[in-house]
Structure 1
Amino acid sequence: MKWSEFFTSSVGKKLVMAFTGLFLITFLIVHVGINACIFADMVDDSDNGEMFNKAAHFMGASYVIRLMEIGLFIGILAHIVQGFMLEAQNRSRRKKGYAVSMGSQGSAWYKKSMGLLGTLILLFLIVHISHFWVPSRITYETTLNEVSYNGREMHNVFSKMVDVFQNPVVVLIYLLGCFSLAWHLLHGFQSSFRTVGVHNKKWLALINSVGVGFSIIVPLIFALMPLSIYFGWVTK
């Protein structure tokens, strides 16, 4: 079998989904850690977004990180393309529904709705990238005011974030994205490990437990970011 045939086969598509999914999970760990820096403002009134701005500046100023961003976008694109291909393939195989309702014996709704949840996450990503990544990496909008820490100039992304999350519609979009991410991860986390060959019962039990915790904690922290700003718990 040729490599091109492997990656277009059902097994190949699932492996691409699994490996890109695991890569994106590591990205979420880094991203949620940076976002959590905004909560320093709740502990120290004098912080005023300093910790978050420094973390965001490091991510944008490091050439290594910028190169990794290219890999990230490739991973996201591959995950999306293969996801839609698998969804189309699965739909073509089940053109007719079950003659008898499966009831509680059927798969959980979020396992059968990975395509829908992935699409909602994609729409959320487009909004998120347009709000923060594009202004700070490409257009350098004037809305990104400069701030100085110890004589070092950098974008005040924290101020931009506070301004963006004053809009309740934007906050609702972000919450919907976090909700979709939670359900997507609930199945995708453990499924990725199964696909790459983890079948030991003890390891699977641990992975399932970690996956449930990850699927709740990470989206919750992401959701608390717009909520904390909108309700004034975090201010500039």
Structure 2
Amino acid sequence: MNKKKSLSSVTKKLIMAITGGLLVFFLLFHGAMNVVSIISPDGYEMICEFLGANWYALVATVILAFMVVLHFVYAFVLSYQNWRARGKQRYAVVGRQNDVSWAAKNMLVIGVIVLCGIVLHLMNFWYDMQWAEIQGKTPASGMEKIRSIFSESYYSIIYLIWLAALWFHLSHGISSVMQSIGWNNNVWQRRIDIIGRILAALIVLMFVSVVVYYWLIY
């Protein structure tokens, strides 16, 4: 029974690692795409048109949505199982674990913030663009959406808070992905942590640059 439970836990962690890794690649693409809006607004509009309600974009959207749901569902399941497994220990006063990062200790809360940010982002952009086109309506201009949303200070601040949470989530998550596939020996662990933080910073900075740029000029 314990072996089955252990196998189930390992399988869930592996699924989270795979979906998380694929989502990191998506964020790299999405962040780079957003930076194009600063360099070439016309180029950004062309990308938005290319990724409208075309069949390949719809297939990619469905796959992406499935991965996001799977990733967060297993995250909540594993967090709940870990919470139950601790039993009475969760009420005990224990010393602070110096070898566990703040992000690791608060991964569930950070994940909830990230999930709320995704929902807000979908409402602000996807709903008026791809979803509108699916319904046969005229989709909103990507550039107009960016300018109108990030010209509002409260939206920009909310997005920056979300992106800060995303950095913590990614900085720990990327390291966890590497551990799940066995790259967590003494030699590589510190290097993996550094690589994870750098990659997380690269992704988040691409999004932050867009928010701050349009917040300041509009």
| Structure 2 unmatched runs, 5+ | none
1:223 aligns with one of 205, 208, 214:
208
The corresponding residue for 1:94 is 86
1:103 aligns with 2:102: no
TM-score for the superposition, normalised by structure 1: 0.80
Q: How many residues align?
A: 212
What SS does structure 2 have at the residue aligned with 1:103?
coil
Q: Please say if residues 143 and 160 of structure 1, whose CA atoms lie closer than 8 Å, have aligned partners that are also in contact.
A: no
Percent of aligned pairs with the same amino acid: 27
Equivalent residue of 2:127, what SS?
helix
Kindly indicate which of the two structures has a greater share of residues assigned to helix: 2
Output the CA distance in 1 between the equivalents of 2:179 and 2:189. Answer: 8
CA pair 104-197 structure 1, distance change in 2 beyond 3 A? closer
Q: Deviations over 1:155-180 (max 9, x none)?
A: x2111210111222211111111000
Aligned to 2:161: 176
Distance 2:188 2:100 in 1: 22
CA RMSD of aligned residues (A): 2.4
Cα separation, partners in 2 of 1:63 and 1:183, compared to 1, 3 Å: same
After superposition, where does 1:1-236 map in structure 2 within 5 Å? 9-40=8-39, 47=40, 49-60=41-52, 62-95=54-87, 96-97=89-90, 99=92, 101-103=94-96, 105-140=98-133, 144=140, 156-199=141-184, 201-232=186-217
**Distance in 1 (alpha carbons) for counterparts of 2:211 and 2:38:** 11
Counterparts in 2 of 1:130 and 1:7: CA distance versus 1, 3 Å = farther
Displacement of 1:78 in angstroms is 0.1
The two structures have a TM-score, normalised by structure 2, of 0.87
Counterparts of 2:144 and 2:92, CA distance in 1: 56
